[in-house]
Amino acid sequence: MEDHYPLRAQRKTKSKPSSREIQQLHALLADVQATYTDSQLSQNMDRLLESHLKSARVPITNMMSLGLGSLFTAKGQTRRIKQLTIFLAIRDSLQRMLRREIEIYAQDPAFTRTDEALLSSLGIHIARTPSGSQLGEAASLIDTSTIIYSPFLTLEAYEQLLLHSRSPVQVLIGDDFNGLLNKWPKHTAERAQVEGVARSAISKYRRRAIGGEGFWITEDQSFPMAMYSIQSHSQEKKAKL
């Protein structure tokens, strides 16, 4: 997973989608999906989703991926394909558990036309933003029935998402904020931003760490993941006892 800089300018390359490139990515994605299916991470994720659905306050109808990155950039490509694999697997698991369609969206200013063509071929709708520090179109698409998947998001976007969103986020799957706190040295502006979000928003959620056994390898340079969900009324009562 990439560094969580407070601001980061991104350029979007306007190139004609290549069917050959897309076919190659489909083949690579299929291999990674097979690895995920056989991994402990797959089982862990399904257990977390099942647990959440049993006590969910609001039905889940859609998912939004924020910060997936370009899948056709050589550096970190395997990591991003694995992140896409997790996103698609969560959608598939939810559809199996709920027995209905789950709409999925993805937004990242780094997406190229080839990225968008690939994602569209996988049934993913594209949302747009001019900057990684802004929520862009995602802000109007996210509601209480949305699961947010954030494999990489700037601190500014996290602030907008969790502190200033028009609709409270019910479920967030992505960066482990414990890891984000450890990432930045004390007394830095970035550490202060993470602490502010953790104190004002994340503290209201139930945190469950997501281990990556059997899927992530050292070369992926993956960042710790966690699921954050608003607690049900029964969970809140138990927590107070």
Instruction: In whole angstroms, give the CA distance from residue 196 to residue 193.
Output: 5
Q: What is the pLDDT of residue 15?
A: 55
Read off the tokens for 27: 């083949």
Any alpha helices (H) in the chain, and if so which ranges? 19-37, 40-55, 77-98, 113-121, 138-141, 155-163, 177-183, 189-200, 233-240
Q: What is the pLDDT of residue 45?
A: 97
Instruction: In whole angstroms, give the CA distance from residue 241 to residue 226.
Output: 25
pTM: 0.89
Q: Which of 172, 64, 182, 169 is nearest to 126 (CA)?
A: 64
Q: How far is CA 228 from CA 69, 99, 149, 162, 200, in A?
A: 22, 23, 11, 11, 14
Instruction: In whole angstroms, give the CA distance from residue 32 to residue 18.
Output: 21
Orientation of helix 189-200 relative to helix 155-163, angle to 10°: 20
Q: Which letter does DSSP use for residue 18 in this model?
A: P
Strand partners of residue 148: 64, 172
Q: What is the pLDDT of residue 11?
A: 44
pLDDT < 70 stretches in the chain? 1-17, 231-241
Match 């993956």 to its residue by tokens. 222
CA dihedral 131, 68, 153, 102 (to 10 degrees): 100
